[in-house]
A and B are shown apart, each in its own frame.
Chain A
Amino acid sequence: QQQVKQSPQSLIVQKGGISIINCAYENTAFDYFPWYQQFPGKGPALLIAIRPDVSEKKEGRFTISFNKSAKQFSLHIMDSQPGDSATYFCAASFPGNQFYFGTGTSLTVIP
């Protein structure tokens, strides 16, 4: 059973556009929701993260929107650039280092 469901599987966006990736979870005991960015041949790297007491967090061009009642959270990449082309993973964790990841979204930003 997938604890965190991520969509879409792949996404193609024009340069300058907005990329949106969505995730949904079931377990309300999750208390930490990070997004990771992964380039080919590299390990994932933390992009931005949010805790459930906050509805939105913004860092530069990256924003997490969090809807606790709907048990959904999303990543918005504003002004998408070709350098943002990568695979993005959402995740959720319980207190104590137990993590569940989404299946990933391959983002391609076309110049």
Chain B
Amino acid sequence: EAQVTQNPRYLITVTGKKLTVTCSQNMNHEYMSWYRQDPGLGLRQIYYSMNVEVTDKGDVPEGYKVSRKEKRNFPLILESPSPNQTSLYFCASSLRTSGGVETQYFGPGTRLLVL
């Protein structure tokens, strides 16, 4: 089954304790992204990647890091989480075609609470 998986699905942590949210896709997609979703703000792109070793900042990259060492994986790293990073996080992947980016497939989400 074609899918994007995220782990963990729920996470409670404390300020300053480094954490990693994993994302994996089995569709051989070149493009992957991380978003955060906050009430009233919609989804905001944190980082995106267009291929292995190619990553770029989205709209709200502060306080986050990513890496893309393999095509299927795109982990999101919070080196020193703060309460304002409490949010619902989504990973997404999409295929690149000659017409540009196509359908984005979203993971199930990771709900993070930073105390």
Q: Which residues of A contact B (CB under 8 A)?
A: 3, 6, 31-32, 34, 41-46, 49, 51, 89, 91, 93, 95-104
Contact = CB atoms under 8 A, between A and B. Distances in A.
Nearest to B49: A97
B101 A32 contact: yes
B interface residue count range (under 10 / 10 to 19 / 20 to 34 / 35 or more) = 20 to 34
B70 to A, nearest CB: 18
Contacts, number: 67
22 contacts: A3-B59, A6-B42, A32-B101, A41-B109, A43-B92, A43-B106, A44-B90, A44-B104, A45-B106, A46-B104, A91-B43, A93-B100, A93-B101, A95-B101, A97-B33, A97-B49, A97-B101, A98-B58, A101-B42, A101-B43, A102-B42, A103-B41
B51 to A, nearest CB: 10
Interface in B21-74: 31, 33, 35, 40-45, 48-50, 56, 58-59
A89 B50 contact: no
Contacts of A31: 100
Contacts of A3: 59
A102 to B, nearest CB: 6
B43 A44 contact: yes
A96 B50 contact: yes
Contacts of A96: 50, 100-101
Given A32-B100, A32-B101, A98 B48 contact: yes
